[in-house]
Amino acid sequence: MDVDVDGLTLTLGGRPVLDGVSLHAQPGEIYGLLGPNGAGKSTTLSVITGLRRAASGQVSVVGHDPAREALALHREIGVLPERSGFYDWMDAPAYLAWFAQLYGRRLTGPEITAELAQVGLDGRNRRAIGTYSQGMRQRLGLARALLHRPRLLILDEPTNGLDPRGRREVHNLLLERSRQDGVGILLCTHLLDDVERLCTRIGILHQGRTVFEGALSELATASNEGESYRLHLRTEPPAVPLPPGVELLAWQGEWARIKLDGTRPPEDVWRGLLAARWPIAEIHQEAGGLETLYLRMTQKEEGPA
Amino acid sequence: MNPILLIARKESRELLGSGRGLAWLLALSAVLSVLGLLFVSNTELSLLDNAQVVTMELGTITALGALLAVVLGSDAIAGERERATLIPLLLSPARRTDIVLGKMGNQLVGWLVMYLIGLPYLWAVGSSGQNLAQACAYLALFGTPLVLGFGFLAQGLSSRAAAVRSALVPSLLALILLGGPVMLGPSFRQSAIGSWLDRVNPFAAAINSFDSVVIDSQSLSAQLARLAIVLIWLAATAAFARSSATSMNV
């Protein structure tokens, strides 16, 4: 497993920041780490990358314990931190060349140009980094993270400050690295579009705890409170009362929209409807979108105000 | 290349190539220029014995070198933290000790530059005297550990501080506390407290050595006790800076 985290806890300034974080990312997988501001995402990443030590819990990243084998780990991971600074007086090629040397790589001019080109930066540009826009800095940070061909990329808000085209380019780059080179990616973001486009599995943190971990489709099931469905009917439905927990929202022609209140598994409801002679031909779940599901999941954990 | 050398080289390039570093060196050169001009044009100062002028110039170069070291040291880690450049460095394969040692290497380069800047001024005020060569040698021998000590102290505090200012203020205070008594009159320095301070104060040890060698033409053997104080200062501050590697939190 690329990232294997169980029961992580950490207290900062007397306040529990992490209170049972668990993440499990497979090699080559793009794993999305989601959560509202202050949920503990960046702190979790700092523990995973060996910058902080957890009070308790198990952490293994590409087979290394970050607390004990930080140097070996840093050779195998590429990280784009949330707040990533640069030496503003340097230009991008000089910066990358210097950083590559820290990893024992001596980059030639064409190699530097290629490294910069893959993130959409011009290697011939000798402007000081201090004059770069936020988007250009983000791209440079990504180039730095990719520099040493890491097995695992840990990216904290990688598309921050990028325009839609830039975001799409970064998405494509990450997908390419994942599919072609088998690079695992742990993506920490609050942009659900990034998650939907890139991630195979996600973990949701809320108030320092993992409240969900699994595939996106599992999230829909896990937050199944009042899911709505579209039923394709062969004929008109019979005039009998609906089973408990089912509400008919609309009915038009061959299509009926129903809502389940989540008290019964959907399979039970379908069996009940079929037993009541509902002529169901197809069932389509109306996904509320990741955003709806995510909000529901984090609100559920928050409880009543 | 070794990460320590890589970091030291990058830091030195920043000192000599960035606007901020060059501004500092220019300011220090300006102070030395003004002082040199005063030595030759001011009626009272121009009447001083050549050896006394050289000693004052040595003290000034040392004090300015220590000031530069304090500024560089305070910025070394806390500055990186403020500018968010520390995390990428900590996430690289460089050990925290490498980072600390690389930054210490930059202190050495900073002092070397300051020393080289000071040499023409020393020559300008002391070329007609007897002990110019000794002055240059003693500036290297005593000034180097003294100045680096201030830099290492500031760097150690910088590792522990969240902001540059939090490291700069106590470091400047230490510089004033140790450099201040040297400026006090002879009556205080001859008192029991003053005499004791003179014996244990590395700043006083260096300045008194400049005095003894340049003005009184004493030999090195007579300065060994003072040299020991300055070296102990260097060792203690280096150990402090080195131990701060573990405090280099994000």
Domain-wise residue ranges, chain B: 3-247
Locate all alpha helices (DSSP H) within chain B, ordered by sequence.
3-17, 19-41, 50-76, 78-82, 86-90, 96-126, 132-138, 144-160, 164-183, 186-190, 192-200, 202-210, 224-243
Residue predicted with more confidence, B18 or B117: B117
CA distance B122 to B18: 27
Interface contact flag, B83 A85, Cβ < 8 Å: yes
- What is the per-residue pLDDT across A93-144, written as a single tens digit (0 to 9) for each? 999 999 999 999 999 999 999 999 999 898 888 899 999 988 899 999 999 9
Comparing CB atoms, the residue among A49, A84, A104 nearest residue B84 is A84
Cα dihedral A197, A7, A38, A171, rounded to 10, equals: -20
Residues of B in contact with A99 (CB under 8 A): 88, 92
Is this structure's pTM higher than 0.95?
no
State the smallest CA–CA distance between residue A207 and chain B in angstroms: 21
CA distance A272 to A111: 64
CB proximity B96 to A under 8 Å: no
Q: Least CA distance to B82: which residue of chain A? A: A85
Give the pLDDT score at A288. 59
Consecutive sets of 10 residues in chain A, 305 residues long: mean pLDDT of each? 91 89 93 88 93 93 93 95 90 95 92 93 88 91 94 92 86 91 91 86 90 78 66 83 81 81 82 87 73 67 46
Between A and B, how many residue pairs show a Cβ–Cβ distance under 8 A? 60
Per DSSP, what are the bridge partners of residue A215? A201
Phi, psi angle pair for A82, to nearest 5°: -60, -45
- List the 19-48 stretch of B: residues with Cβ below 8 A of A: 19-20
C-alpha closest to that of A192 among A179, A177, A202: A202
**What is the interface pTM, i.e. ipTM, of the complex?**
0.83
Residues of A in contact with B20 (CB under 8 A): 89
Q: How far is CA A80 from CA A26, A39, A63, A177, A272, in A?
A: 20, 19, 20, 15, 51
Q: Least CA distance to B14: which residue of chain A? A: A89
Q: How far is CA A156 from CA A1, A60, A96, B197, in A?
A: 20, 19, 20, 53
Interface contact flag, A103 B93, Cβ < 8 Å: yes
Interface contact flag, A84 B14, Cβ < 8 Å: no
The answer to whether residues B52 and B61 touch, using CB atoms and an 8 Å cutoff, is: no
CB proximity A81 to B under 8 Å: yes
Mean pLDDT of B180-196: 74
Interface contact flag, B14 A51, Cβ < 8 Å: no
CB proximity B129 to A under 8 Å: no
Q: How far is CA A178 from CA A26, A30, A173, A200, A245, in A?
A: 12, 7, 9, 11, 43
CB proximity A215 to B under 8 Å: no
CB proximity A95 to B under 8 Å: no
CA distance A248 to A251: 8
Locate all alpha helices (DSSP H) within A91-223, ordered by sequence.
92-102, 109-117, 134-146, 164-181, 192-198, 216-222
Q: Quick one: angle between helices B144-160 and B224-243, nearest 10?
A: 20
CB proximity B17 to A under 8 Å: yes
- What is the per-residue pLDDT across A210-223, written as a single tens digit (0 to 9) for each? 988 988 777 666 55
Q: Is B89 exposed, middle or buried (0-12, 13-18, 19+ CB in 10 A)?
A: buried
Provide the edge-to-edge strand list for the sheet that holds A30-34.
Answer: A77-80, A152-156, A184-188, A30-34, A201-206, A209-215
CB proximity A83 to B under 8 Å: yes
User: DSSP code of A277?
Assistant: T
Give the pLDDT score at A303. 47
Q: Is the pLDDT of residue B77 over 90?
A: yes
The answer to whether residues B94 and B188 touch, using CB atoms and an 8 Å cutoff, is: no
For residue B82, give both structure tokens.
Answer: 């403020």
Give the pLDDT score at A301. 52
Give the torsion sign (CA, B104, B105, B106, B110).
positive
CB proximity B245 to A under 8 Å: no
